[in-house]
Structure 1
Amino acid sequence: MSMKKTLSLAAAGAACIALPMTTAPAAFASSGTTNLTANLTQLNQSGASGKVMASLTGNQLQITITSQGMSANLPHAQHIHIGGMNTCPTANQKGKGTDGHLRTTDAADQYGAVKVSLTTSGDTSAKSALAVTRFPVGNATYKATITLSADDAAQVREGHGVIVRHGIDYNKNGKYDGAGKSDLDPALPEEATDPAVCGVLNVSQMNTVPKGGVNTGYASTTDSTNSVAIGGGAAAIALGAAGVVLMRRRKQSNV
């Protein structure tokens, strides 16, 4: 067997083995669903934290928020902010509030403006940003399906969204009060609207929500494109191996 034929056959086998690496990303992109996660970390020394899991299909956002350490028995306004630097303030960042507390507007350039109000019922636009009677109380788990505008959906799909939850009972008396006034509505105390936790909505590497996992409030799906990519990868590797065997047999026959 000539050296030219040997090299050609070996190259064909190598190309087949490399094939899955070029086709898998296309399968991922064609799924039509973008999964997102966010880790909520404390602001204003709230001691709170949380986790966000979301799935965006078209303009439909399915979202679950779990949290710990939020002020008990008090409503917590929560929103998707868009349009800033797509970052959260640092845990110890100070602001212009009472005792140097970070107010919502103090970090607006970092996480952007309110675009989606994550209410428990009714309107979810920015108009409901302070609808305190329609937000979850304490550490209650939040689950909802929300229709986003086309622009907001496009931003969230690219990972350009930030979750902020508000409300801190600084004096631990079981209610929102205190001397400071809210920078969003002077009729409200600062405690009601100061940010407690923040997290950037990052695009997850998982293409589907796994079956048998944590109940996030939305259905699990089976992604056939991943199966096709894996199957195609196995077939390509087998084809490459067959090319190597054939090359060896031809070489032996020429000895």
Structure 2
Amino acid sequence: MNKISATTLAALTVAGSTLALAPIASADGTSSGSGNSGSGVFTTTLNPVPTNHVAGSGTAKIELKGNQATVTVDAQGLLGGVPHAQHIHIDGQGRCPTAADAGTHNGHKSMSTSDGMKAYGMIGTSLTTSGDNSPTSALAVKRFPMGSSFHYQRTQTVTAKVADSIRRNNSVIVVHGIDFDGSGKFTNVLGASELDPKLPQVATAPALCGVMRGQMTGGVAAGSGGTQGLQHTGLMAGGAALLVGGAGYLVTRRRKASDRA
């Protein structure tokens, strides 16, 4: 008589059910059972914001480990002698604004911070040089980089929401402060800032913008359209089906053996 032990059958059944319940990777590379503790590197090229008469450029990088972000920004070709507020924006469309997003300010077509928010979203982190980095410090002009060119690097804690937006490739770095009229200083050519009427619009208008793109360590970056998640889903589902099906086969075989005994 060919008997299958109860221990073997139980082991197979448990293995199958465990695999079936394991976190399944989705098509965007995220996991239904994963937390926000992954690491990854995200980079972008900072390009001039349309309509704002900017000739500068730059690059940015975020090295993310859990909620710790080392943010590096290099910019050049900006207005000298003034502070340049910079932020990680989230909750928008994950893009930089186009000329179509611009409004009219003091009779001039230009891009204000508010005009661009549909594209890049609200402020998630203020990239200050020291101290608080929350949206509350959005206009802390004394704690932002100064000059026509600068190198910024700071390791800082970001909120879980900001970290998740970075992982999902839905964060945008924006550097502010423009020389709209070529005067070499902040003027009232565009009127007062809608963020703080004590400041001119040119001081808070976006100058450079870049969408952060990258990849979590060991997986396809969220939102990148990779197929790794789909492959994992199929493999896990197939493996679970084989194990559960195998357990059923063993039950049937054991019953037949008992009938012949």
TM (norm. structure 2) is 0.64
| Equivalent position of 2:138 in the other structure | 129
Following superposition, the deviation at residue 204 of structure 1 comes to 4.4
Q: Distance in 2 between the 1:201 and 1:143 partners?
A: 16
Q: How does 1:29-178 map to 2 (within 5 A)?
A: 32-43=38-49, 44-90=52-98, 94-98=102-106, 99-138=108-147, 139-178=149-188
For 1:65, give the aligned amino acid.
Answer: V
2:70 partner SS? strand
Please state if 1:181 is matched with 2:192. Answer: yes
- Structure 1, 87-96 or 37-46: larger mean CA deviation: 87-96
CA distance in 2, matches of 1:172, 1:131: 25
Question: C-alpha offsets along residues 104-153 of structure 1, whole Å, 9 cap, x if unaligned?
Answer: 10121110001100001110000000011110012110000110111211
1:184 is aligned with what amino acid?
A: L
TM-align CA RMSD: 2.3
Residue correspondence of structure 1 range 206-225 to structure 2 within 5 A: none
Relative to structure 1, the CA distance from residue 81 to residue 131 in structure 2 (aligned partners, 3 Å threshold; closer, same or farther) is: same
Secondary structure, counterpart of 1:141 in structure 2 = strand
Question: Which residue is 1:6 aligned to?
Answer: none
TM-score normalised by the chain length of structure 1: 0.66
Q: Distance in 2 between matches of 1:197 and 1:92?
A: 17
Distance 1:92 1:76 in 2: 24
Aligned partner of residue 150 in structure 2, secondary structure: coil
Query: Per-residue displacement from partner, 1:34-82 (whole Å, max 9, x unpaired)?
Result: 1000111101130111101120001000011111211111100000000
**Distance (Å, rounded) in 1 between the aligned partners of 2:46 and 2:99:** 11
Match of 1:192 in 2: 203
Maintained 8 Å contact 1:178/1:190: yes
- Please, which runs of 5 or more residues in structure 2 have no aligned partner? 1-28, 219-261
Aligned-partner Cα distance in 2 for 1:62–1:125:
15
Rounded to whole Å, the distance in 1 between the matches of 2:187 and 2:83 is 13
The aligned amino acid for 2:119 is: Q
- Percent sequence identity is 44
Query: Residues 188-233 of structure 1, C-alpha deviation per residue, up to 9 Å, x if partnerless?
Result: 00110010011001114887xxxxxxxxxxxxxxxxxxxxxxxxxx
Which residue is 2:230 aligned to? none
Whole-angstrom CA distance in 1 between matches of 2:212 and 2:99: 17
Do the aligned residues in 1 keep the contact of 2:172 with 2:209 (CA within 8 Å)?
yes
What CA distance in whole angstroms lies between the structure 2 residues aligned with 1:76 and 1:69? 12
Unaligned runs of 5+ in 1: 1-24, 208-255
| CA displacement at 1:171 relative to structure 2 | 2.9
